[in-house]
A = this chain, B = another copy of it.
Amino acid sequence: MRPSGRQLDEMRTISIDTAVSKHAEGSCLIRVGNTHVFCTATVDSRVPPFIKGTGQGWVTAEYAMLPRATDIRTRRESTAGKPSGRTVEIQRLIGRSLRASLDRNILGERQIIIDCDVLQADGGTRCAAISGGWVALRLAITHLLDRALLQHDPLGAPVAAVSCGIYAGQPVLDLDYAEDAEAGVDANLVMSKNGDLVEVQMSAEGATYSRDEMNHLVTLAEKGIEVLTTAQDAAVHP
């Protein structure tokens, strides 16, 4: 019944290759089906003004798509003169999600910038960016620990994200583009490996949904997060 032939609660194939950049402190290429996101983590001693002098660290994220990551080529945002509203919204979500499992006092006054560049898109790019971004962040922090630039590990359980939605009247897990374009309700959930919620975003476009449907979607997402955090663990502890 799904365009891809998947079960209602079935994730796409996931792969996470690490150390794909010779320059970055942490990096991975995450593939969730045909969605491919190149993630790097940069450790920067300069911090944003609002944490200067607080002794606390910060994690921020930037997100972009290559112009031909999509079926129809998209105009470059540098040409448009600014990141689109969608881009800014996604960047804020990725940053907030990664900060959930971080002890900013232990990190100390430094910033880690996570760059998530979508090489190929097929739905769920922001979720793949969060899941891959966490791996890059984990590797950058390990890099600091290995060089004794950090004494204690500021990072908790893996954090991952998955989409779900109501497609053709049925709650389904991990929407690909064909499903996403048709779904009446579209959700992105961010959770940690131990089952805690970090972010729920559940939107209807020109429609509404019941509280029961909401609960069904959260249950589906929990299943997907388990698969994703298992893949994250494997990638960072090879």
Is A149 an interface position by the 8 A CB rule?
A: no
Chain B proximity mask over A83-110: 1 for CB below 8 Å, otherwise 0: 1110111011000100110101000000
A73, B44: Cβ atoms closer than 8 Å: yes
Which B residues touch A119, using CB under 8 A? Answer: 21, 38
Where chain A touches its partner, the secondary structure class is mixed
Number of this chain's copies in the assembly equals 6
CB distance from A110 to the nearest CB of B (A): 13
Are A68 and B42 CB-contacts (below 8 A) given A77-B78, A202-B197, A204-B197? yes
CB distance from A64 to the nearest CB of B (A): 7
Chain B proximity mask over A173-206: 1 for CB below 8 Å, otherwise 0: 0000000000000000000100111111111111
Is A24 an interface position by the 8 A CB rule?
A: yes
B66, A99: Cβ atoms closer than 8 Å: no
Are A69 and B23 CB-contacts (below 8 A) given A80-B78, A88-B89, A204-B100? yes
Q: Which 10 A-B pairs have the closest CB atoms?
A: A85-B88, A196-B208, A77-B78, A40-B68, A200-B202, A42-B73, A78-B78, A24-B68, A89-B89, A67-B115
